Amino acid sequence: MRARTRSIFTVPAAALGVLLAAAACSAPGDSSSDDADSSGSIKIAVVDAQSGQLASLGDWEAKGAKLAVKEWNKKGGIDGRKIELTVFDDQGDPTTGTNIARKLDSGNYTAMIGTAESAVTVAMAPILKQAEIPNITSGQATALVDVKSPFLFLNGPTSTTYDSTLSDYLVTTKKFKKIAVISNNGSYGKGEHDAFTAALKEAGITPVTDQVVTTDQKDFSAALSRIRQSKPDAIFIGSEEVEAGLIVKQARDLGITAPFAGAAPQGTPVFIETAGAENAENTIVSSPYLSNEISEASRAFATAYKAEYGKDAELHGAKAYDGTNIVLTALKNSGVAKGKKLADEIRATKYQGLLGDFAFDETGVGIFKTTIGVIKDGKLSAAQ
């Protein structure tokens, strides 16, 4: 039975004072807030890669979650209880992730934020389900939905939403007919490949070439040479930030001038820095959070984030901020419930967040819309 609906219409304010809860990172393992009172605190975990190629994702997510927790603790926590945030480094590795899941179970954690890596989240899901620890993930692979866990929630759209929006823009708006595909064989890459090619098929388009690389590959000349021979109007890329950036850089070095198109990773600063701003120019991106200027709430969040960390906010930090606020709102509304009762309260929570209006369905997905942006002069902004 569906729990009663809770409605929240504002994102927590960005006024910041003395830091009451700060999480540190270790690899792999955990680091609790320095002044945590374990006797009465509410233990929340952030699990993400804090080392390795995907460390930028983990860093953004940890910062977004920390900011949300800081704001709640500044206001007195929940029912007078302090929120204790702990950051774990999964190293982007499913085995490490499962070991952390067991630690969360034995450590009496109330909820988990993360991971941004779908394969790690999928590996952790059975343990978290058995432990009845609700988990809000930033992954987007449809494999997350296929897990069918009542304790697993997504703080963003699935690849299906990202890529159906992108396909429609490329085919219907831009009138592209010759579209090449390059993706990696990891969980994220496969999810993106399958979602995008399915969307193209619905539009009556078959990729002019479909190249698959490995997640640890560094030289993409063979695949890119085949793409160059196909003379595409656009190139879809299903790969994380660093690898995607390397692919684009090498493509430009080979004389490929067609625009690239992709989902969340292609809208990040790491992608642009890795590819080079000039090479990334005109990249088309499908995202629920194009910039820090999309709303008054996003501007307040970005201001607070910049004040706290001295860096600009972006999508992944915003996702973790939203996800953490949803968990904390559900904890408050449920009287600091745990287990199934907390999961039911999360599912019932309506939340107006930075990414949009969250309303979770039975699959654990809460956001079903993205918009199209284009990289111009090194920055992502709404397509004109």
Please provide the DSSP assignment of 109-120 as one string: --EEE--S-HHH
Q: What's this model's pTM, rounded to 2 decimal places?
A: 0.86
Regions of the chain short of the pLDDT cut 70:
1-39
Following CA atoms 344, 78, 140, 114 in sequence, which dihedral angle do they give, to the nearest 10 degrees? Answer: -120
The predicted structure's pLDDT at residue 67: 98
The predicted structure's pLDDT at residue 34: 33
The predicted structure's pLDDT at residue 187: 87
Minimal CA–CA distance to 301: which of 7, 67, 20, 56? 67
Minimal CA–CA distance to 64: which of 42, 96, 87, 80? 87
Average pLDDT, the chain: 91
The predicted structure's pLDDT at residue 94: 96
The predicted structure's pLDDT at residue 384: 82
The predicted structure's pLDDT at residue 286: 98
